[in-house]
Amino acid sequence: MRIDFTGKKALVTGGTRGIGKQVALQLCGLGADVTITGTKETSFAAGADFNTQVVDFLDESSTNQFLEHVQNAEYDVCINNAGINKIDPLAKVDEKDWQDIIQVNLTTPFKICQAVSEGMKKKKYGRIVNISSIWGTISIAQRAAYSSSKFGLRGLTLAAAAELAQHNILVNTVSPGFTLTDLTREVLSAQVMEEIAETIPMRRMANVEEVGKAILFMVSDLNTYISGHNLVVDGGYVNV
């Protein structure tokens, strides 16, 4: 058995960095025709073998243009990875920040699922993965907006999975834990990363390749019967 995406069209939102970029590269390497989104043209890597869509999910006009593209593209695979976060104490969560986080992390995947599933229904085939987080399975202080969006994303996954399974469209959630992305390295010191690693049963953070492999399995033809599942990729953290 091997994973092969030859002849498959795949969409990865937020595919310019981190987990999104990694899974897009893996999909390309396995034969997929991959489209990624980014918020500006300069965010796309020069020479990368992707189709690109510039879209700002906080802008209604930009989002609507993109959704029209999705409706017409007839993707086989969709990975809703784009997301934003802002950490604040509950009493200080700004309403605009709340609305923006819900818009990008939950409302946009909902609209993309609506648009992409129509083409998948025609093909009687589809794989959708919504990227949540361990903070959509458990939570901690100062994550009110982010956790609300990610728990909501899991609810969307369950409802969509129940409705779309009859069309051979499998909808799942992948929830990464602490992951060594470029952004993680930029915002956390080596000491803080070591302290976090000590709280994880495997005593290390995930790398993007490991999370990417989990996503690839869920959207591949090796998965023919899993739908509505939340695959937590966290080295055992949520079970501690």
225 labelled catalytic: no
Active-site entry in 75, 146, 225, 237? 146
* Interval 26-74: pLDDT, tens: 999 999 999 999 998 877 876 678 899 999 999 999 999 999 999 999 9
Q: Note whether 27 and 76 are within 8 A (CB).
A: no
Which domains are present in the chain?
A: 9-178+211-233 (3.40.50.720)
pTM: predicted TM-score of the whole model, two decimal places: 0.96
Give the distance from CA 215 to its chain's centroid. Answer: 9
Nearest 5°: CA angle at 172, between 166 and 173? 160
Q: What is the mean pLDDT of the chain?
A: 95
